[in-house]
Amino acid sequence: MPKAGRLFVVGTPLGNLEDISLRALRILKEVDLIAAEDTRVCRKILSHYSISTPVTSFHEHSRPAKLRSIISRLGAGEKVALVSNAGMPGISDPGEKLVSECIAQEIDVVAVPGPTAVITALAISGLPTDGFLFTGFLPRRGKERSRALKELAGQPRTMILFESPRRLSRTLSDLRECLGNRRAAAARELTKKFEQVIRGRLEEIAEHFSIHPPRGEITLVVEGAGKETAEEKRARRSQIDASILKQAKTHMKQGLSAKEAAREIAAATGVSRRLLYNALQKPSS
C-alpha cells in the first residue's frame, strides 16, 4: 500500500510578491500539485518565480468530486500545496474543507507560515493587541446578523472582521448602532502600493468611505468593550439616542412587540430596557 502524501498549507503574499518565504517557494517547486483558490492569482506568483508546478482550482464552489480527487492523489503518496488568493489558506477560506478532510483521513497536514491580513491589520491598528477575537465576515441578514452583533457588543477584546466594499457602509452603521461609536481601523490594499489604513471612531470611518468609496476587501479592527466605571455605565444606560430608538422601531416593524424589541436592543447595547420601552410608548412627534 503506498505511503500517504502530505498537504502543505502555504502562506502566500497579501499583495506584495516579495512577501513570500524561501521555504514556501521551495515547497511550491517540489510538490506534485498546487490546489489554488484562484488559479489566475496563483499563476501570477508562480510565473514571477519561474515555478512550473501543475495547478488545479479548489474554491468555495468546487464540487465534492474535486475534493475527492485531491484526497485520492494524497492517498496515493503525492504531495499537494494548498494556497489561497492571499495570506494563509483555511482562515475564513474554502481551504478549511480540504484541511479538515485530510485530518479525517489521517493525511499529514504541514503549515508553511506566511502573511495574514488578520495579524497585519491588528499590528498597525493602534488598538490593544494583548487579546483579540477574529470573526471573519458577519452574517449578511436577519436574526443571525443581529445575534452576531449582539455577541460582539459585550466582547472585551479587540475584534477583527472582514468585509467587502459593497457591504462596508452597512456594516459600519450596524457596528455603530450596536457597539457605540468605538475606536476602529479599516485597512485595505495591505502591503500594496496604495495601502491605506483609516483610523478613528466608527462614525468617522463611515464618513470617510461615504466620500471615498473603497475598493478591495477591507479588514476592520474594532475596539473591545473595555471596562466602564459605575458612573459611565449609569450614563450609558440612561441615554436613549435616536439611532437606538430607530433600531428598536425597526424590530417592531419586523413583528416584535415593544417589550420584545426593548429587551433585545437593551441586551445588545446596554441601555435601560425600561427607559427604552417607555420611549417606544410615546407617540411620534
Q: What topology is assigned to 6-115 in CATH?
A: Cobalt-precorrin-4 Transmethylase; domain 1 (3.40.1010)
Residue type at 2 in one-letter notation: P
Mean pLDDT of 112-134: 97
| CB 138, CB 149: distance < 8 Å | yes
pLDDT for position 235: 52
User: Per-domain residue ranges for the chain?
Assistant: 6-115, 118-222, 230-281
Phi-psi region of 200 (alpha: psi -120 to 50; beta: other; left: phi over 0): left
Grade residue 1 by pLDDT with cuts at 50, 70 and 90.
very low
pLDDT for position 239: 62
Mean pLDDT of 110-134: 97
Which tens digit of pLDDT belongs to each residue from 9-46?
999 999 999 999 999 999 999 999 999 999 999 999 99
Q: Are strands 6-10 and 79-83 parallel, antiparallel or unpaired?
A: parallel
CATH (residue range 118-222): 3.30.950.10
pLDDT at 93 over 90: no
Which tens digit of pLDDT belongs to each residue from 137-163?
999 888 899 899 989 998 999 999 999
pLDDT at 52 over 90: yes
In this predicted model, which residue has the larger pLDDT, 105 or 265?
Answer: 105
CA distances to 137, 184, 191, 268 from 149, rounded to whole Å, are 11, 15, 29, 8
Return the percentage of the chain with pLDDT > 70, whole number: 93
pLDDT for position 237: 54
Place of cell 483609516: 198
pLDDT for position 201: 96
Among 280, 196, 187, 180, smallest CA distance to 233 is for 180
Instruction: Provide the greatest CA pair distance for the chain.
Output: 79
Q: Whole-model pTM?
A: 0.76
pLDDT at 101 over 70: yes
